Amino acid sequence: MQLNEQNILSALRAVQDPDLHKNIVELNFVQNLKIEGTKVSFDLKLTTPACPIRDRFKDQCITIVKSLGATEVEVTLTSSQGRVGDDNSAAKAPQNSHIGEVAHVVAVASGKGGVGKSTVTANLAMALSLSGARVGILDADIYGPSMGLMFGIDKAPEVFEDNTIAPVEAKGGISIVSMCMFADSDKATIWRGPMVSQMIQHFIHHVRWGKLDYLLVDFPPGTGDIQLTLTQNCPMAGAVVVTTPQQVALADCQKGIAMFDNVGVPVIGIVENMSYFICDECGKHHNIFPAGGGQKIAEKWGVPLIGKVPMEPAVADCGDCGTPAVLRYPNSESAKVFMDAAEKMVRTLSVFESEGDGVLKNFNYDFEQLPVEEV
């Protein structure tokens, strides 16, 4: 077959995106196609640098183009910075807001305190960063900020003359802004509602995030005014809701899901933390709380359960030593769950993005059933 643009593009239509159910040519991923004799090169412009199937895409493209007679095929992986929520939600940001440079803002929330929301935020962020994405964390847990401790940050961010703030670059190149960088962490922050609301708006719009692929917002626990301020002022692409399997946490988790549903922020998935305990002596799994709660809530609300994180000394230890478990103990069971949950998050966001309005009610997604097109 002749090695020309038409034949190459037509053959590349065999490469399907399993999440978006379209081929890479239809999705306009193939760009800058060049043919010089039997040498072919092109860019593959993906929706995110953290695309978990980027290498598979690349391998498939090379195999296909070589089967047409090319002797050398160079595929360069790039990513677009298309923002989710360029529709109504982006309109919430004032013109001079720096949040516009962030491609996807994701809320990490819990109805109840102490369920491990900050631990999940820190590890998801690190997992995304290790997958090649540019990541930031906005620690909006004004009354109990913990990102400073979780990443071992002991410096304050730079504040410029125009009152904008530069985030602190932490381990994994993650950009972080946390209330703990401004308040004396030994003293409880006793602020009134309007002051908290102002501070949060300042954090959302006047931090110089730069170009980020994902900004994870660690919400304060609960479903009150602060949480509403956050969802109403920040163009959220989706939310991850964290719970433990305990009844009391599950009840509050549903309030969290309902809150996001009410404000039109799609729930990406539920992370059940402390799902079971792994004995560090014998390695056996023990259910401390009754099992299956997260799954039941997920089914009831039609959102996926994207991870069941075990209770592991490695996770607790990392929370105290300032390095997320995903980085410090990459072979731990928790690290694997966090990496998998981050992948599911990325894939779900790309589906939300392709759906247009970014809001999917009763989203039902079976990750195990993803069609994988083999060449």
Query: Which residues contact ligand ATP by CB under 6 A?
Result: 110, 113-119, 141, 144, 146, 221, 273-274, 309, 311-312, 315-316, 319, 334
Pick the closer one to ligand ATP by CB: 18 or 114: 114
What does the DSSP assignment read for 232-291?
HHS-EEEEEEEE-SSHHHHHHHHHHHHHHHHTTPPEEEEEEEEEEEE-TTT--EE-SS-T
Pick the closer one to ligand ATP by CB: 93 or 150: 150
In the bound complex, what is the minimum distance in angstroms from residue 131's beta carbon to ligand ATP? Answer: 21
In the bound complex, what is the minimum distance in angstroms from residue 219's beta carbon to ligand ATP? Answer: 9
210 labeled part of a ligand binding site: no
In the bound complex, what is the minimum distance in angstroms from residue 158's beta carbon to ligand ATP? Answer: 26
224 labeled part of a ligand binding site: no
Pick the closer one to ligand ATP by CB: 303 or 315: 315
222 labeled part of a ligand binding site: no
Please name the residues in contact with 45: beta carbons below 8 A apart, sequence gap of 6 or more.
28, 29, 30, 31, 78, 79, 80
User: What tokens appear for 328 in the block?
Assistant: 């410090």
Q: Cα dist. 53→11, 19, 292, 346, 373 in Å? A: 19, 10, 30, 11, 12
Asked if residue 325 lies in contact with residue 338, where contact means CB atoms within 8 angstroms, the answer is yes
In the bound complex, what is the minimum distance in angstroms from residue 249's beta carbon to ligand ATP? Answer: 10
22 labeled part of a ligand binding site: no
Asked if residue 140 lies in contact with residue 226, where contact means CB atoms within 8 angstroms, the answer is yes
Pick the closer one to ligand ATP by CB: 216 or 274: 274
Pick the closer one to ligand ATP by CB: 70 or 278: 278
Q: Which residue is nearest to ligand ATP (CB)?
A: 319
In the bound complex, what is the minimum distance in angstroms from residue 127's beta carbon to ligand ATP? Answer: 14
Write the burial class of residue 194 (CB in 10 Å: 0-12 exposed, 13-18 middle, 19+ buried).
Answer: exposed
Pick the closer one to ligand ATP by CB: 235 or 269: 269
Q: Where are the beta strands (DSSP E) in 9-146?
A: 16-17, 22-23, 30-36, 39-46, 72-79, 102-109, 135-139
118 labeled part of a ligand binding site: yes
Which helix (DSSP H) or strand (DSSP E) does residue 307 occupy? strand 305-311
In the bound complex, what is the minimum distance in angstroms from residue 248's beta carbon to ligand ATP? Answer: 13
Compute the Cα dihedral for 154, 106, 370, 21 and give only its sign: negative
Alpha-carbon dihedral 156, 161, 165, 166, rounded to 10 degrees:
-80
In the bound complex, what is the minimum distance in angstroms from residue 225's beta carbon to ligand ATP? Answer: 17
148 labeled part of a ligand binding site: no
Pick the closer one to ligand ATP by CB: 30 or 149: 149
Binding-site entries for ATP: 111-118
Return binding residues.
111-118
